[in-house]
Amino acid sequence: MKKDIKLRGSKWNLHHAVNFGWRRVLQRIIQSLSGFLKNVVLITEDDDSYSEMSNRRTLAGMGFRTADELVRQMVGTGTPELDDLLGGGLEAGMIHLFHGDGGLHRDLLRMAVHIQLPKERGGLDSPTIIIDSCNMIKIEDVTDYAFEFELEPEIVMDRIFITRAFNSSQTYDLVMNHLESFFDRVPARLLIVSGLPDLYVLEQVSGERLQELTHMATKIMTFTLQRRLFTVVSAQDAGQQPYHPAGGKALSSCAQIHVHVKEGKHYFKYVLAKHPQYPVKRASRTKPVRFGETLPLSFFLKE
């Protein structure tokens, strides 16, 4: 005989009550499991997100960028012929190696002045840091370029920070031990390292000390990537290979862009010898006439 029981004012038999009770129990178990599994999924997603963000920060510190973050930032050099040769100018995160005749340092000084222009005029309103191992600074050139770009010469010179090296050991110390502190104190976007291997060549350094050039080239490359700098390094030509930079394979490998400069009596010739996007290209420009120089008769006969 089935025993009747009352549940919430309704008459249910024991069989129905048992079935109803098990259904409620099963529903609660399923709801609990669903909530637990949902939480597990959320925790897993959070862990993945945290791991991904951590990896992004780590890779960003090493100079990596994701595809959506990669923007090619460029700034003009102040020399239209060079800008055309380089596809727009200097590129952030790249080392631009200029090598050849000593007159190329005038182009580098022009870059140091041009980058001080405001953004609407093609500059970055930025100071420049120069590590000079070849005595490239010429005050009269800086003054001329300041007037050319309609800037105040004294203000321009105040925003060019120069440190000199007089032997190869000093060059190594400045690059390896002081580069970070320079940029921590000065918010510069342009780094010029003039004559990086020149003192090593002059001192005829050989053997293990030549590895210092490899260390410096690697340091400059990594530092440029991390801080997204516009970096220009200059070098003289190798003695036995006139169209190759001094400093060996390390400097050539670390510099992504190579420009060879040849200076003639009335012109400069440029060869884009290495670039990650462009083939070998050439350009030239005439030398500007300086005050105090004797002008040829043909100059006055021009219509």
pLDDT of residue 247: 82
| Residue 237 CB-density burial (10 A; 0-12 exposed, 13-18 middle, 19+ buried) | middle
Average pLDDT over every residue of 271-288 = 93
| Mean pLDDT (the chain, rounded) | 82
pLDDT of residue 298: 60
| Residue 29 CB-density burial (10 A; 0-12 exposed, 13-18 middle, 19+ buried) | exposed
For residue 245, which of 266, 206, 273, 281 has the smallest C-alpha distance? 273
Distance CA 264, CA 224 (A): 32
Residue 274 Cα distances to 72, 84, 253, angstroms? 18, 15, 10
Per-residue pLDDT band at 27 (split at 50, 70, 90): low
pTM: 0.74
More confident residue, 259 or 68: 259
Asked if pLDDT for residue 63 goes beyond 50, the answer is yes
Average pLDDT over every residue of 148-173 = 96
Domain boundaries, the chain: 1-67, 74-286
Average pLDDT over every residue of 43-69 = 56
pLDDT of residue 214: 93
Distance CA 74, CA 68 (A): 18
Distance from the Cα of residue 42 to its chain's centroid: 38
Superfamily of chain region 74-286: P-loop containing nucleotide triphosphate hydrolases (3.40.50.300)
Asked if pLDDT for residue 15 goes beyond 90, the answer is no
Per-residue pLDDT band at 57 (split at 50, 70, 90): low
Structural element, H or E, at residue 10: strand 10-13
Q: 171 near 131, Cβ under 8 Å?
A: yes
Lowest mean pLDDT segment, chosen from 146-150, 270-274, 298-302: 298-302
Asked if pLDDT for residue 40 goes beyond 50, the answer is no
pLDDT of residue 42: 41
